Structure 1
């Protein structure tokens, strides 16, 4: 499976840099990149963009994202998935988990789910 990640604007940019340094073929975008949602885009619109473009959202927004996902699904929409980062994880732990997931995930394994990290 080819996984593509969209990093929430509140995730440090260096996460993408470090992921791509180790896994240059992985597609990792950040909110604010060209052709990605712009900074300040509402969470519901980010979910629609992820659905339309096939990206899994990586975020630390534990407060409102579950509500937005519930509303998104109630509207008969879907999303490839959301990975919720635990802020106590090191950057190395986050990178390792995202890489393992990218290499081992089944088609649609995380569809319509919020997966809380760490999962390993």
Structure 2
């Protein structure tokens, strides 16, 4: 059972990344800045997250689901978690920590989930 590692998309509020790490210091959540994702198109972002074995965490409900579908037709992904922008920062943090605590990385392979559903 492998622990989940997360990758923040460039559109994800940095307060979510910072707050998640503050609440759960053992959780591995890489910022978009560290991964140099700013300005990159969805396929490149998905490829970077996949190469690192990280679930991509994004607010992008508009283009990411379709791009993810195209991506997994030819490559493997560690998964995508889409958080609604209507969630409060604390609700988003709770959702990420819950995913990290109750699932393992293998369960997320080539999966996409939106919160709320």
What are the residue-to-residue correspondences of 1:1-120 with 2, within 5 Å? 1-33=2-34, 36-75=35-74, 77-118=75-116
Number of residue-to-residue matches in the alignment: 116
Aligned mates of 2:37, 2:93 — CA distance in 1: 24
> Shift of the alpha carbon at 1:38?
3.1
Structure of higher RCO (CA pairs closer than 8 Å, 6+ residues apart)? 2
CA deviation vs aligned residue, 1:7-27 (integer Å, no higher than 9, x gap)? 111111111111111111111
Query: Could you say what secondary structure the match of 1:108 adopts?
Result: helix
Aligned mates of 1:13, 1:107 — CA distance in 2: 23
Query: Could you say what secondary structure the match of 1:99 adopts?
Result: helix
Unaligned stretches of 5+ residues in structure 1 = none
- Contact between 1:61 and 1:84, CA under 8 Å: does it hold in 2? yes
> Shift of the alpha carbon at 1:55?
0.5
Unaligned stretches of 5+ residues in structure 2 = none
CA-atom RMSD in angstroms: 1.4
So what's the TM-score if we normalise by structure 2? Answer: 0.90
Query: Could you say what secondary structure the match of 1:74 adopts?
Result: coil
- Contact between 1:37 and 1:46, CA under 8 Å: does it hold in 2? no
Q: Which runs of 4+ in 1 moved over 6 A?
A: none
- Contact between 2:78 and 2:105, CA under 8 Å: does it hold in 1? no
Aligned mates of 1:107, 1:82 — CA distance in 2: 11
Query: Could you say what secondary structure the match of 1:10 adopts?
Result: coil
